Structure 1
């Protein structure tokens, strides 16, 4: 028989600080078929918004699907363990 001890710890999900998020957009304007033109990945949302502005200016399309991709990591949560005060006992 094998004995096992499990230790449960609390974790949180956080954005991975070693990788920057990526922003992109795709034009979904169109009645029967979406335009489908994509901005490509950018390191900041302003560049994607500028692409959208230029695409709208050139085509009149005004509907886009925006995407934000990032990396996430599980981190061990800091435990806030407080011992009771001697006065409260």
Structure 2
């Protein structure tokens, strides 16, 4: 049986941001786990304002649902 996979709209997205600015060594500052994209954007904006760093790795987790195809 084949299945379709989709994001569970009732599941909470979790965001994590890490500063990867730097030529020889990444800054390494990290946001910790946050709920929603807006707190992640605010964290990046605040870090950029404080340090001038402007390159980040964003990671998010979600919940998925599988359903029979057809």
Shorter-chain TM-score bucket reads 0.7 to 0.9
Which among 16, 21, 26 is matched to residue 18 of structure 2?
26
* Greater RCO, 1 or 2 (C-alpha within 8 Å, sep 6+): 2
Structure 1 segments, 4+ long, off by >2 Å, are: 16-19
List alignment gaps of at least 5 residues for structure 1: 1-8, 80-89
More helix by share: 2
SS at match of 1:23: strand
Q: Larger Rg: 1 or 2? A: 1
Which among 61, 85, 88 is matched to residue 53 of structure 2?
61
What is the distance in 2 between the residues matched to 1:48 and 1:21?
11
List alignment gaps of at least 5 residues for structure 2: none
More strand by share: 2
Q: How high is the TM-score relative to the length of structure 2?
A: 0.85
Q: How many residues align?
A: 70
Indicate the residue corresponding to 1:15 in structure 2. 7
